[in-house]
Every structure is written in C-alpha cells, then in structure tokens.
Amino acid sequence: MVEITELGYIGISVSDAEAWKAYATEVVGFELVEEDGETDRFYLRMDEMHHRIVVITVGVDDDTVVHLIHA
C-alpha cells in the first residue's frame, strides 16, 4: 500500500465563485494567487506552494479532484 505523505492540492466545483473567494480570503485567510477567467477558476494557497486549492465555477457545489503526494 502506498503511504501518503502530504496533500498536493484539492479542486472544488462551486456555483458561487465570488462567495467562495470572499470566504477563502477574508475569513479563512488564504492568499488568492491566480485567476483564470477563460476557464472560470482561481487558485488559493496558504503556504509556499503555487496553490493548494483550485476553485472551478461550474454551477454545482462538489469536490472534484484531490491530488495526494506519496513517498
């Protein structure tokens, strides 16, 4: 069995991107690092990595992607 050592990133599908952006940056304290208007997504981080969370606007709220780093 593969041992997971850390979280790479998580992707979340949302219906209200602006609400998520406000909550993530103003309440939780994540840094908004990039917005891609062509694909309706934005990237958040809380450490030195480029991003830990990608939020994708698709009209429904759902978890879509989890990328785990293993040894």
The class that CATH gives domain 4-70 is: alpha beta
Type of residue at 3: E
Domain ranges in the chain are 4-70
Position 46 scores a pLDDT of: 93
Position 29 scores a pLDDT of: 97
From CA 58, how far away is CA 50, in angstroms rounded? 22
| pLDDT, tens only, 5-57 | 777 888 888 889 999 999 999 999 999 999 998 888 999 999 998 898 999 88
Position 65 scores a pLDDT of: 60
Q: Is the dihedral of CA 20, 22, 27, 28 positive or negative?
A: positive
Is residue 67's pLDDT more than 90? no
Position 7 scores a pLDDT of: 74
By CB neighbour count within 10 A (0-12 exposed, 13-18 middle, 19+ buried), where does 54 fall? buried
